[in-house]
Chains A and B, each alone.
Chain A
Amino acid sequence: MTRSPSCLPSAAAELLLTREPLRLEEALSRVGGPGHGAVVSFLGCVRDSEDGRPIGAIDYEAYAGMAERQLALILRQAREKWPGLRAAAHHRYGRVAAGEPSLVVAVSTGHRAEAFRAAQFIIDRIKEDVPVWKVGYEWVR
């Protein structure tokens, strides 16, 4: 059965650290529900250049166990700040091709203002405290 992404939370992972391609629908399926009037999603995608030079992909390294713990902590902090919040954060590592998402965040709340704020908070905290690194570029001639 096909349904809109935000009827009821599904069994998809709330947090995920994976080498596999990320799917926006999977993160969206974790959020939304009765009373959740606002759903905000974010994709952080690999740009096709670095310092003006074209690239085909970025290699990400992760401290997998700690990265998962940090993602869980950040989602917990967000839920403390915005009670009732539903959120999912999925990060990819390994080789990610230009144009593909390395980060997907989805949140839902009653109204839009807190949904935007919560999404921004989660993304900023991930950028600060989740042990994942860009360690190499696939340069394109």
Chain B
Amino acid sequence: MKLLFFAASAQWAGRRELELTLDRPVTLASLCRSHPALESILLRREGLRVAVNQEFSTFDAEVHDHDEVAFLPPVSGG
């Protein structure tokens, strides 16, 4: 699976992208707990939104190996 880190979340995770292989579906929250680079993300969970396959989702959502997950700090476009 592919994880994408946007804006400030790229600094928190120390990277802009991460490729992982999932043997079985897990919730996004438990995935974050199981990977060192993602723990810093979980600490900033408040105010942080997530997207699965380019749609807003939650940390409780189950994610699969073919999914694209993105971490989205509060947007500031316009």
Contacts and interface: CB of A to CB of B under 8 A. Distances in A.
B78 A131 contact: no
A61 B78 contact: no
A38 to B, nearest CB: 22
Contacts of B56: 129
Nearest to B51: A66
A129 B75 CA distance: 7
A123 B78 CA distance: 8
B54 interface: yes
Nearest to B73: A133
Interface residues of B, number: 14
Contacts of B51: 63, 66, 131
A132 B54 contact: no
B56 to A, nearest CB: 8
B78 A102 contact: yes
Given A132-B75, A133-B77, A135-B7, A69 B70 contact: no
Contacts of A67: 77
B22 to A, nearest CB: 21
A98 to B, nearest CB: 15
Contacts of A99: none
